Amino acid sequence: METKTQTGTPGFKLNYKRTIIIGFAFFGILLLWQVYDSWCPTFLTELFKEAFSITSEEEVQYLVGIVMAFDNLAALILLPIFGALSDKTKSPIGKRMPYILVGTLICAIAFPFVPLFVHYNNVAGTIIMMAIVVIFAMMYRNPAVALMPDLTPKPLRSKANGIINIMGYIGGAFATVVGIFFAVSRYFKETEGHESDYQNIWTIEIPFIVASVLMVISALVLFFTIKENKLKDELADELKRGEEESELVEKVDDDKPLSKANKAMLILILAAEFFWFMADNGIGTFMTNYTMYYFEADSSASMINVIVGGVGSVIGFAVGGLIASKIGRKWTVVSGLGVTVLSYVVWAILSATLLGFQPGSGTFPVFLYIIWFVKGFGMSLVHVNSYPMVVELCNTKKIGKYTGYYYASSMAAQTITPIALGSILLIPQFDFGVLPFYALICCGISLAIFLFIKNIKSGKVGFKKGLEAMDQD
């Protein structure tokens, strides 16, 4: 028997098969960024040390942060532009698909040239290729993400976003596994049992080639299975009904400016998002360096840590939509931020007391795996519900534009946070041990901001349950 929504209309059901296929776009995105974020900061560290004849890693981290921030600055500008352009695009293959295909192809061609320039110690070439990758990744990232809400009614977007993120994390996990076998530290330092990896170009080249090939495959799977224009016509009635079942107290009318309550809600979400990305991207950018230079451990330990965090994230993505259907998206996000803050508190205490932390010991603290698992779970509850809350504030005509707002906030944080954290590491009293305290402060601010969000209905939206929800058309 069908469940009913709060208005008494038939409940919505999620097409899991279609959502998983749409998720292949996010698979390619996370695959690319996991390789990019795990390898490029170390590439830049070693290139700058060589270029300026510097032996201390901390002294060049501000330069690493600036280069990584320039990439994010380009994204801050380009993501809203490509989102708005795709909203207005009309083509035989849809409004999002042209950007996805062109962006993926050029990214896939350019990506393997990054380690090639590193191998030949070419700083300018490395940075230029990184910039090309970022620019065209931004071309397809916004449209690829916007494709899910394009084809999903508002009440189902948290559940659908959970599936999309799981697909993304599978891509990220794949890249991380490759990183265990082709650890970047082995290319720059001779290690016992891996002498053949030292200065061997394939040690750093293979992960980038694998990422490029899988990105192209994922885009082709999406293109040949999702007929964007046809699906939009078939789903028109359901999408319209979804607009009526919004969580918002005040309905959105795209012919009028946002109401004061909805505008306040948007600003608060984006402000909170800014600070949780300040935390997450800040430590993510420097985590491989934290492992290599603070503990002097093999960088593969950092890759294993990412996998453990990914497992926690996948669990959170799987249950995040279900939790939101019980307590609402706002309180699910608050719960996720609370869990994440708690994990940072434990990390900070253990780091401050040096319990299990022996800088320079050559070993990676095992309990960091537990912290990363908990953090991954908490942040997945945040991500799976925050983006649907933003696109809840528009109708299907402006999803790309509002997706641009969401990513503009995250990219603004990712532009600032590498420079901020890199600059802190220049202070003589600080070293990589400052990472947990930095993350704790930023995430704590984010949680405080999110608590002020209002304009959310107290009632819950009805869904089909069990086998009724497994629409396989």
pLDDT tens for 118-141 read 999 999 999 999 999 988 988 888
Q: What is the pLDDT of residue 470?
A: 32
Count of residues in the chain: 473
Rounded to the nearest 10°, the torsion over CA 389, 391, 393, 398 is: 170
Q: Which two tokens stand for residue 410?
A: 């995250």
Q: Which amino acid is at 180?
A: I
Long-range contacts of 82-85 (CB under 8 A, 24+ apart): 82/138, 82/139, 82/141, 82/142, 82/143, 82/400, 82/404, 83/142, 83/143, 83/146, 83/400, 83/401, 83/402, 83/403, 83/404, 83/407, 84/400, 84/401, 84/404, 85/400
- Cα 119–chain centre separation: 28
Closest listed residue to residue 28, CA positions, set 158, 180, 136: 136
What would the pLDDT profile of 39-66 be if each residue is shown by its tens digit?
888 889 889 988 888 877 778 877 887 8
Say if CB 317 and CB 169 are below 8 A apart.
yes
Q: What is the pLDDT of residue 451?
A: 92
Q: What is the pLDDT of residue 187?
A: 76
Say if CB 320 and CB 387 are below 8 A apart.
no
pTM as predicted: 0.74
Say if CB 86 and CB 99 are below 8 A apart.
yes
Phi, psi (rounded to 5 degrees) for 4:
-115, 150
Say if CB 130 and CB 211 are below 8 A apart.
no
Say if CB 43 and CB 118 are below 8 A apart.
yes
How far is Cα 205 from Cα 202, in angstroms, rounded to an integer? 5
CA distances from 424 to 233, 341, 429 (A): 53, 21, 9
Q: Which amino acid is at 394?
A: C
Say if CB 359 and CB 306 are below 8 A apart.
no
What would the pLDDT profile of 145-187 be if each residue is shown by its tens digit?
888 888 888 888 888 888 888 888 788 777 777 766 776 767 7
Within 8 A by CB and 6+ apart from 303, the residues are 38, 176, 177, 179, 180, 183
Q: What is the pLDDT of residue 469?
A: 34
Cβ neighbour number for residue 460 with a 10 Å cutoff: 15
Say if CB 83 and CB 403 are below 8 A apart.
yes
Q: Is the dihedral of CA 372, 377, 378, 381 positive or negative?
A: positive
What would the pLDDT profile of 204-247 be if each residue is shown by its tens digit?
888 899 889 999 998 999 999 999 989 888 888 887 887 776 66
Bridge partners (DSSP) listed for residue 456: 248
How far is Cα 43 from Cα 100, in angstroms, rounded to an integer? 28
Cβ neighbour number for residue 7 with a 10 Å cutoff: 11
* DSSP 8-state class, residue 252: P
Phi, psi (rounded to 5 degrees) for 431:
-140, -165
- In the numeric block, the tokens 């997450």 are attached to 280
Percent of the chain past pLDDT 70, that is, above it, reads 86
Within 8 A by CB and 6+ apart from 75, the residues are 134, 137, 138, 141, 407, 411, 414, 415
Q: What is the pLDDT of residue 465?
A: 38
- Cα 233–chain centre separation: 30
Which residues of the chain are under the pLDDT cut of 50? 1-9, 458-473
Q: Which two tokens stand for residue 322?
A: 């279900």
How far is Cα 180 from Cα 308, in angstroms, rounded to an integer? 13
Closest listed residue to residue 79, CA positions, set 143, 30, 133: 143
- In the numeric block, the tokens 């706002």 are attached to 330
Q: What is the pLDDT of residue 122?
A: 93
How far is Cα 186 from Cα 175, in angstroms, rounded to an integer? 17
Q: Is the dihedral of CA 29, 404, 73, 166 positive or negative?
A: negative
Across the chain, mean pLDDT equals 82
Got the DSSP string for 220-238?
HHHHHH--HHHHHHHTHHH
Within 8 A by CB and 6+ apart from 445, the residues are 275
